Structure 1
Amino acid sequence: MGSHLHHLSYCFLASYGTQRTLILNTKGYNGNPEGLETFFLPLSETCTSYSKSQMVPWPGKEDSLVVYFPDWDRPNPRPKYFPKSIPKDISERLMRLHGDPFAWWIGQFFKYALRRNKDFQNYTDNLAREMGYESPVVGLQIRRSDKLQREAIYIDLSVYMEEVDGFYKELELRQTVAQRRIFLATDDPEVIPEIKKKYPEYKLLYNPGSVDSTRKSQRKKGPSVQYFLADVYFLARSDYLVCGMTSNICRLSYELMQTLHADASARVSSVDRDYYFHFEVGNVVKARFPHKPRRTGELEMQEGDVVDRKDVLSRFSKHPSKNNGFQWGTNTRTKKSGYYPVYKTVEILEKANVQSFERIDRSKTE
């Protein structure tokens, strides 16, 4: 489901980049007759239908009435406004004001697409009261099961809880914390008794329905979508988020977080790798400061060097290590690979020259 929602972001970007209205048909999605509209407001109240006879394949032409966007995330041709890029017209302000501009940009689309309807709002509000969900609370997402077979490695609970403990220790320097809370979203029910036994000082919050729905036989049934979306809702609204960015749910919650704060880029701790986007182009950083290796495996950098990070996911799955402020990359100048200190680099984002909506002659559409 997390992957499906991230595909939706590509549809939104294509709509924005071509200045077309996005019409999304999710009826019957995972056992829900009304699809995503079971939980969220429709994308539009007026533009809801189209004629298949007028449909042409991507990318169509400027005068094409209906363009079909493919159901994969590597369309041909691939425009420059796809990940990781931000619109050029807002890039200067965005990069000056935000610690993770691309996450903020994608978050805006999800903020609009995931506007709760009345029924889902009532459900999440009631669930929050039942759980005792209130600030301060750390959102903890632990993805295991099938994820371990393909894209990630097993990470012990203690690694997650060290980050949770660090947040609360810092918070307690500034204010009194009467109760340490955790909101847990997981597909491994065994984590619940493990936390209760090893960390009794924490109040553990979770949705019982969500835990029960994580069995593979239940995941594609109607109610499971509601439980999943509620988990994302509460993770995004936590004061701090501890998860693994190899998970779509972690990245989605982080992206939504950016829409709830002026800058939430520092409100997350990933136990595996840094934030990325599937099928992104680029994924490079530039060294702001030189770095001389202090131990085996570190990468030498000079100021201005460009470091390519595209193979970081495969590297992590083969050589896991605790996230300690270093990431894997290849220096494009020296062609050597190793771990570099993230704080000494800055991400290089593509600035897409997308036409501003301010230029649209709205008189022609009225």
Structure 2
Amino acid sequence: MGILTCTLCREDSLAIDTDYKPEISCLQQSKNQELKRLGNVVQKKIGEIQQAGHAVCKDNQFFECVLPTCGFTCSVHFLTPCVLLALQSRKSFVIAFRNVTSTSDFRHIKREIFETSFFPVDNPCNALYIPTPIEEIKGNNSPFEFDLTSVPDDVKRRVRELHSNPMAWWMGQAAYYLLKLRPEVGAKIDEGFDFTQQIVGVHIRRTDKLKYESEYHSVEEYMAPVEDWFNQREIDMMGKKNLPRKRVFIATDDPTALDEIIEKYPEYDVSYDQASIENAFNKHSRYTDVGIQHVALDVFRLTRCTFVVCTMTSNICRLVFELKQVKNGDDTQSVKSIDWRYNYHKAALPSWHVVTIQHLPSHGNELMLEVGDRIKPMTQDWRSGYWKGMNERNKKIGIYPANKVVDFQNIR
């Protein structure tokens, strides 16, 4: 049996400055191409289920997904499991938008506002018909388990084999189906920006997020990985004539963060959408058609960046990470979170955590972790970066760092 040899290939789609193109192995390149092919199969299957449900719009042919009271990307992450549940149940989903008029209920996203920027992904069924309860669709599975009966077994198997974070790939497929931009909106992504050359995206989430879910992080914390990334590029290009320009795209809800970066990092070319920052800063305008459009544009701009620095406590960061897996194949190394590792559903506890890095306790209430240990999560603390749970190996209960475990993800 012969041995397959593989040399390095140039990835033209990631081409950057004249004398520098990141190299990717032929093996990884073929894996990414196969992941894109599998993605096309999944997108077609979702569409078939949705269209079949619309054609026979009657009792038990569809189930309803109710939008929560939260922002745009938060709502997307509540809807993505519905897409996977459609693949599991072979029933189409209908989004229940809340039609509220009270000014105190501004955090509800209305259908007409969503569909100003995106094509409809469902076809609301006649109110005379009663949808199947979503609880019946979910069954007893945890939020991290899906039995995708409508997807061929070989597709699920190949995704597990090819991608380093299969759940991120599946969530990306679900989000990609939901977020079909209207052409006039999609045309604005590149207006005034150049994503054909290497550029690092930085998403800084502050304002109301700091009250409940996230810690404050200085611009220096965000820019440190950016500096490291460009320093590595300079090492890669050592001896070549044209060093890459240091370019960053900033998306934030805090205008002072942008001002600080411009002042403290004058060697960088800084690009940003001023209107987007102003809309994000105003908690009321975020939920208007213009505000949601700006958030969506920032998300898609960040997915076009060569490398992204953000915080996974933010739904925007997690959505960018997921969509990058659809766009580029296995692209998990192109996003750096300065707080949490990727977790597809922040509001739910995974069935298990699997330890990837050994941990020696520094305090009496910490667990000792060995690579491969399975931990049953009990509670989470987004601010401290620690979970509390039980180590299945020795049945001990304690806290453990989130950056040394990954979620157990089960797509059957």
Mark yes or no: TM-score above 0.5. yes
1:301 maps to what in 2? 369
2:269 to 171, 185, 203: 203
2:204 maps to what in 1? 142
1:335 to 393, 396, 401: 396
Secondary structure of the residue aligned to 1:166 is helix
Change (3 A) 1:261 1:156: same
Secondary structure of the residue aligned to 2:270 is strand
TM-score normalised by length of structure 2: 0.69
**Do structure 1's residue 15 and structure 2's residue 89 form an aligned pair?**
no
The percent identity for this pair of structures is 28
Larger displacement relative to structure 2 (80-89 or 247-256): 80-89
Distance in 1 (alpha carbons) for counterparts of 2:331 and 2:379 = 26
**Do structure 1's residue 125 and structure 2's residue 125 form an aligned pair?**
no
In the TM superposition, 1:214-363 aligns within 5 A as: 214-276=281-343, 277-287=345-355, 291=358, 293=360, 295-296=362-363, 299-302=367-370, 304-309=372-377, 311-312=379-380, 314=381, 316-317=382-383, 319=384, 328=387, 330=389, 331-332=391-392, 333-339=394-400, 347-352=407-412
CA contact (8 A) 2:340 2:403 kept: no
Secondary structure of the residue aligned to 2:215 is coil
Secondary structure of the residue aligned to 2:309 is strand
CA contact (8 A) 2:246 2:268 kept: yes
- Listed one character per residue, the Cα deviations across residues 313-357 of structure 1 (whole Å, up to 9, x for unaligned) are x1x42x36xxxxxx65543434243445956x56422233xxxxx
Distance in 1 (alpha carbons) for counterparts of 2:147 and 2:136 = 20
Distance in 1 (alpha carbons) for counterparts of 2:234 and 2:173 = 32
In the TM superposition, 1:51-70 aligns within 5 A as: 51-59=126-134
> Aligned-pair distance for 1:24?
3.7
Change (3 A) 1:121 1:340: closer
Larger displacement relative to structure 2 (109-118 or 193-202): 109-118
In the TM superposition, 1:103-182 aligns within 5 A as: 103-126=168-191, 130-175=192-237, 177-182=243-248
Larger displacement relative to structure 2 (239-248 or 79-88): 79-88
TM-score normalised by length of structure 1: 0.77
Secondary structure of the residue aligned to 1:145 is coil
> Aligned-pair distance for 1:236?
1.6
CA contact (8 A) 2:142 2:350 kept: no
Change (3 A) 1:347 1:281: closer
> Aligned-pair distance for 1:156?
1.3
Distance in 1 (alpha carbons) for counterparts of 2:146 and 2:236 = 36
CA contact (8 A) 1:189 1:211 kept: yes
- Listed one character per residue, the Cα deviations across residues 28-54 of structure 1 (whole Å, up to 9, x for unaligned) are 79787733332223326xxx2422111
CA contact (8 A) 2:85 2:146 kept: no
Secondary structure of the residue aligned to 1:52 is coil
Larger displacement relative to structure 2 (87-96 or 97-106): 87-96
Secondary structure of the residue aligned to 2:317 is helix
Distance in 1 (alpha carbons) for counterparts of 2:373 and 2:188 = 50
Distance in 2 (alpha carbons) for counterparts of 1:9 and 1:351 = 14
2:116 maps to what in 1? 38
Which residues of structure 1 form unaligned runs of 5+? 60-74, 321-326, 353-366
CA contact (8 A) 1:85 1:102 kept: no
Distance in 2 (alpha carbons) for counterparts of 1:14 and 1:292 = 36
Greater helix share, 1 or 2? 2
Which residues of structure 2 form unaligned runs of 5+? 1-71, 101-107
Distance in 1 (alpha carbons) for counterparts of 2:79 and 2:209 = 21
